[in-house]
Amino acid sequence: MPGDGRLARGDATRRLVLRRAVDVASVDGLDGLSLGRLATELELSKSGVFALFGSKEELQLATIEAALGIFETYVVKPSRAVEPGLPRLRAICENWLDYSEHRIFPGGCFFFNVGAEFDARPGRVHDAVAAASGSFAAFIRETAVEAVASGHVDADPEVLAFELHALGRAANADAVLHGVADFYILARRVIRARLEAVARA
């Protein structure tokens, strides 16, 4: 049907716009997004891009959702494929540091950056960022609980999860700010030492 072709083109354009939007937002923040800017950079019709999203806020929300899908592809899904417990906990940390270090998003970890941008600003965008970031923190915590329950680890799982999360965020923040990878090396050393210290023989 003729309408199917238009829908397919619309979906393809939406994916193209969102792929550019997540890269822009990782550097310039979600407030750095605009429908006009994306249309110009991608050489698309401004009215066509506006028709896809309708408002800046809807664009921001769609960008968060797209970024979460990319993050899950590089970090969450590969980690879930690893044996539960300590092996999965190690995989989460390694995959997360790899994702940040390899600049899947040019600004480093997308959610660290936009979290700092919207942490004190109530509204739908704040809630979407908090939910996405919270889902990853919960994944680390659940995996730490599994590691303790399975006898792999002897530690308070809440404390351990918080430590691992904090180390990954610190490595991302310092590496992006200073433009050097040494912080990822240091974070890997600290994380491995921490997990070795709590691992049961």
Q: How far apart are CA 108 and CA 103, in angstroms?
A: 5
Instruction: Tell which wins on pLDDT, 11 or 172.
Output: 172
Query: Domain limits at 169?
Result: 56-198
Number of folded domains in the chain?
A: 1
Q: Please, are residues 198 and 153 in contact by the beta-carbon 8 Å criterion?
A: yes
- pLDDT at 4 (0 to 100): 64
| Residue-level pLDDT at 201 | 67
How many whole angstroms separate alpha carbon 138 and alpha carbon 38?
Answer: 33
Cβ count within 10 A of residue 178: 10
Q: Is residue 2 domain-resident?
A: no
Residue 2 has a CB neighbour count (10 Å cut-off) of: 5
CATH number at residue 102: 1.10.357.10
Q: Which residues contact 29 (CB under 8 A, 6 or more apart)?
A: 113, 114, 117
Is position 172 within any domain?
yes
In a domain? residue 183: yes
pTM of the entire predicted model: 0.92
Tens of pLDDT along 58-116? 999 999 999 999 999 999 999 999 999 999 999 999 999 999 999 999 999 999 999 99
Residue 185 lies inside a defined structural domain of this protein: yes
Condensed to tens digits (0 to 9), the pLDDT of residues 131-162 reads: 999 999 999 999 999 999 999 999 999 999 99
Q: What is the 3-state secondary structure (H, E, C) of 45-99?
A: CHHHHHHHHCCHHHHHHHHHHHHHHHHHHHHHHHHHCCCCCHHHHHHHHHHHHHH
For residue 40, tell me if it sits in a domain: no
Does residue 110 lie in a domain region?
yes
Residue 195: band (very low, low, confident or very high) from pLDDT cuts 50, 70, 90: very high
Q: Is residue 45 part of a domain?
A: no
Residue 146 CA: distances (Å) to CA of 89, 95, 133, 153, 168 = 9, 19, 20, 9, 20
pLDDT in tens, 14-66: 999 999 999 999 999 999 999 999 999 999 988 988 999 989 999 999 999 99
Q: Classify residue 9: in a domain, yes or no.
A: no
